Amino acid sequence: MARQIGTGARTQEAALEALKKEIENGDFDDDLHQLEEDVFREIIGDLLAKEEFILREIEREERLQQLDIEQCNKLRGEGPFVLCPICVNNYLYISNSVIHCQCGMRIDTKDDNPTLELIQTRLSMAHASHATCPGKLEFHIQTQFGPALLACRCITCGFFKVVY
């Protein structure tokens, strides 16, 4: 067992001597330079991959925006655009007597056959009725009294109104 330790120590000494010679001869600088080049190539490859991913995401977003524009252009002739009072991001649409929004808002009007013009008028009337208050109307779906209803309230003045 003593022989193996001695052999290992000699091997380490030989490796250190070889490393010293490489440093003295400048061979080590070549290895370091090659390592730097490899690291830079890897970094550049990662950056190019990230750039490609970002460009694909931008293209995807542009396609989605184009689809939104096309959808809006199709809807333009179908009546007014009524911004959803719940999310204030998307427009309301009506399908089979149900008022919908992409945010998940849904009001089943049964056989009432609402129109976007009527909803827009009722929303305007709610805002007009509350015009003297500095508070902000908050719209929500009211389900306490049976079917889902679109209602609004003001915390400042206590105003409450069922819109639809």
Does residue 59 share a domain with residue 9? yes
Domain that holds residue 134: 93-162
The region of weakest confidence among 66-70, 98-102, 155-159 is 66-70
Does residue 153 share a domain with residue 97? yes
Integer Cα distance of 8 and 71 in angstroms: 76
Does residue 71 share a domain with residue 6? yes
Number of folded domains that form the chain: 2
Does residue 67 share a domain with residue 128? no
Helix (H) / strand (E) containing 121:
helix 116-129
CB burial of residue 154 (10 Å; 0-12, 13-18, 19+):
middle
CA distances from 154 to 125, 131, 138 (A): 15, 11, 6
- Closest of 55, 81, 56, 86 to residue 68, by C-alpha: 81
- pLDDT tens track for 130-146: 889 898 999 999 887 77
Question: Do 114 and 128 form a contact (C-beta atoms < 8 A)?
Answer: no
Name 95's bridge partners.
Answer: 98
- pLDDT tens track for 24-64: 776 666 777 788 888 888 999 899 999 999 999 998 888 88
Domain for residue 109, yes or no? yes
Does residue 105 share a domain with residue 71? no
Considering Cα of 15, then 20, then 22, then 23, what sign does the dihedral take?
positive
- Whole-model pTM: value is 0.51
In angstroms and rounded to an integer, the radius of gyration of the C-alpha atoms of the chain is: 35
